[in-house]
Chain A
Amino acid sequence: MSFPWAKHYEPKNPVMQWVDSRLPLPRFVYNAVGAGYPVPRNLNYWWNFGVLAGVALVCQLITGIVLAMHFHSSAAGAFESVNVGIMRDVNAGWFLRFAHANGASMFFVVIYIHMFRGLYYGSYKAPREMVWLLGVVIFLLLMATAFMGYVLPWGQMSFWGAQVITGFFSAIPVAGDWIRVWLLGGYAPDDAALNRFFSLHYLLPFVIAGAVILHIWALHIPGSSNPTGVEVKGEQDTVPFHPYYTAKDGLGVVVFLILFSVLIFFAPDYLGHPDNYIPANPLSTPAHIVPEWYFWPFYAILRAFTADFILPAKLWGVLAMFGSILLLFFLPWLDKSPVRSGAYRPMYKVAFWVLVFDVLVLGYCGGSPAEPLYVIVSQIAAAYYFAHFLIIVPIISSIETPKPLPGSITEAVLAKTGA
């Protein structure tokens, strides 16, 4: 579907005409990210992050494919192939490795901003539920891919991360221990686990790419949302994606690459953990094991459950950690407010910013050692996290009086620019 005023693809070049009439791929691209896709004219910079996530995915795919050419996936050789082969001997290998490791961080920065943008502007609401659901699927796939990628250099954090994360599955009643052994192909992470993680780490990004195509397809059915949350009413509300948003996204991509380059070239180990420069040692656990920063909020939720209550604490922790992500699948039906944008929802806006703060606190606690103070703070913050999605937002959506909405996107734009 598209708006009736969307431009039609009419190739002037005879070669393109020939191709288009036999395989309408040029038309497809034109309608997806070209002049044939009308987009609300009032998108702000927060709308850049979808394209940036795509750029991050492509960077990871390219550096990853080349790195895989130099990686040895064996418990005996993985650490050396990364820290000697790739980092010292392969031409520009250090660049590939740092770009890939920091690319994962950049990917998560972008994805988190993209998700919070969706939360603030109600982008998950009808008719865009499917876009949101596919987005949560992509997020889950991304987390799995990132985790398995972190295991590959076979440092101490790789090894103990694999040990701890597969340990989640042993919380499952009855079959848990068997599932864990099955996942690892042994009783502890070793060659079998490393090889299957490598295989899946190579596979999943392509699954992500497929899910991204579905995500964009689902987006093109209703068209992009916008900061007012008011649907497009007519042609004056939109501009063609190309050249308007290609130009704006181009600027966004360059700014993204500047920050990315600062990390790669001047602080490549800043977001990493020193212990991963120690080869995996199955007989000695590091004093403080923490996952990569992008898992910290979820790690804090996991560790917040310290009391047995009907179910064992360990099972509660694992349920809550997965639950904290899975509840996002239900968000379109938890928030019943007809108003999309947080800008017109005074109570939701407050709740949103408290949630942002809450997740930052959870992240901070998740990255800190499991000392009583941090555990107490994460227990409060985790309780608020669940309260936000399952109690506060549903209640707000029925009691809140939204501010008056503008009549149309154009009206809002003209009011803002004072014309």
Chain B
Amino acid sequence: MTSLFIKSIKFLVGGAFIVVLLIALYGSVRGVIKEPPAETAEHAMHKHPEELKLASDGPFGKFDRAQLQRGFLVYKDVCSTCHSLNLVSFRNLKDLGYSEAEVKKIAKDWGTKQPVFDEKGGTWGERDNVPSDRFPKVYYPGTGTPPDLSLITKARHDGAAYVHSLLTGYDKKPSAEALAKFPEFAKTPDGMHFNPYFANLNIAMPPPLTQDGQVQYSDGTRATVDQMSKDVSAFLVWTAEPTLETRRQAGFAVLGFLIFAAFLTYGAYRSVWAGVKH
């Protein structure tokens, strides 16, 4: 009797899990049939980012330094009002092709200053930025919490393409068909803006790039809204991983070595096993 119980314990345990799963399955199937999942507004209106091609794409991609500099200008003149870039230091800008003196000047002239605590007086003051400083934090009093942009192209699916589509997506309004299903989207709540590329569809950020020439480019590139958003997207790919090019270069060297090693070890393996049937 006891041994029969021990022998069948596996069936009892397995059976218990399976029965509970079947009960759960019955519940889920019934739920789906009785109340088919309703289409959500996100499902009806959310758009995937449009494809964006950048010089840094692909295993052989390299940053387009001129574009990164333009993108930095867009960040400086437009985004930096609300968005910080706190994981990046001013000294990193040398990677974009700025000289030491230019970096010093950019840091010194930066609108937001570095906070300094005066130990003796117990008060907060501020000082100019220097190249070794990180881009200062930005405190934004309005609605919404503008995220730090340093890692934004890594922190969102489709990275740069998402940033570019979001910046240029404000004029895309919901279709009449979608509005008929979700009439609440006919009027965007106060202080919000409809953008089909944003996960929640309504975004607190007003359209930041609105007219051509909003940023003064000095290299002759026409500063259209599309161009500016492309440039700033490319810049934010760089801020997210300034070591991107080094990484790929190292990768080719390592792979080359390993493929050479693979041929050798294969030869060694064949020679060791030569004549041994296996």
Contact = CB atoms under 8 A, between A and B. Distances in A.
Chains A and B share a contact (CB less than 8 Å): yes
Interface of A: 41-43, 80, 83-84, 87-88, 94-95, 98, 239, 243-244, 247-248, 250-251, 253-255, 257-258, 261-262, 264-266, 268-269, 274-275, 277-278, 287, 304-307, 309, 313, 316, 320, 323, 327, 330, 334, 371-373, 375-376, 379-380, 382-383, 386-387, 389-391, 394, 413-414, 417, 419
Contacts of A83: 87, 150-151
B25 A376 contact: yes
Given A250-B265, A251-B269, A304-B24, 11 more contacts: A248-B273, A250-B268, A250-B269, A254-B261, A265-B252, A266-B248, A305-B20, A307-B24, A309-B20, A323-B13, A417-B277
B59 interface: yes
Contacts of A244: 272-273, 276
The interface residues of chain A, by DSSP majority, are classed as helix
B101 interface: no
B37 A248 contact: no
A65 to B, nearest CB: 21
Interface in B5-26: 10-11, 13-15, 17-26
Contacts of B247: 94-95, 98, 265, 268
Contacts of A316: 17, 20
25 contacts: A43-B278, A94-B243, A239-B278, A244-B272, A253-B265, A254-B261, A254-B265, A261-B258, A262-B251, A266-B251, A274-B155, A274-B156, A274-B159, A304-B24, A305-B21, A309-B20, A323-B13, A327-B13, A330-B10, A373-B32, A386-B18, A390-B10, A390-B15, A394-B10, A419-B277
Contacts of A376: 25, 28-29, 32
Nearest to A83: B87
Q: Which 10 A-B pairs have the closest CB atoms?
A: A265-B251, A390-B14, A277-B155, A307-B24, A247-B272, A379-B25, A383-B21, A277-B154, A386-B17, A277-B151
Contacts of A334: 10
B25 A391 contact: no
B259 interface: yes
Interface in B205-252: 240-243, 246-248, 250-252
A87 B28 contact: no
B156 to A, nearest CB: 6
A383 B18 contact: yes
Given A88-B92, A383-B18, A251 B265 contact: yes
Contacts of A386: 14, 17-18, 21
Nearest to A416: B277
Nearest to B199: A287
B176 interface: no
Contacts of A383: 17-18, 21-22, 25
Contacts of A327: 13
Interface residues of B, number: 60
A288 to B, nearest CB: 10
Contact of B255 (A41, A261, A275, A390): A261
Contacts, number: 167
Contacts of A266: 59, 248, 251
A413 B278 contact: yes
B29 A390 contact: no
Given A306-B24, A376-B32, A278 B147 contact: yes
Nearest to A264: B251
Nearest to A310: B20
A358 to B, nearest CB: 13
A42 B151 contact: no
B173 interface: no
A247 B11 contact: no
A389 B31 contact: no
A190 to B, nearest CB: 21
Contact of A391 (B10, B241, B258): B10
Contacts of A372: 28, 31-32, 37
Contacts of A382: 17, 21
Contacts of B255: 258, 261-262, 265
A79 to B, nearest CB: 9
Contact of B14 (A250, A274, A389): A389
Nearest to B260: A254
A340 to B, nearest CB: 19
B259 to A, nearest CB: 7
Contacts of A309: 19-20, 23
Nearest to A42: B278
Nearest to B87: A84
A390 B9 CA distance: 9
A158 B37 CA distance: 30
B17 A323 contact: yes
A305 B266 CA distance: 49
A275 B199 CA distance: 13
A90 B29 CA distance: 53
A257 B269 contact: no
A25 B28 CA distance: 60
Contacts of A330: 10
B262 interface: yes
Interface string B145-164: 00100110011110100000
Nearest to B254: A261
A306 B246 CA distance: 48
Contact of A88 (B29, B87, B276): B87
A380 B14 contact: no
A160 B23 CA distance: 29
Given A287-B199, A334-B10, A261 B20 contact: no
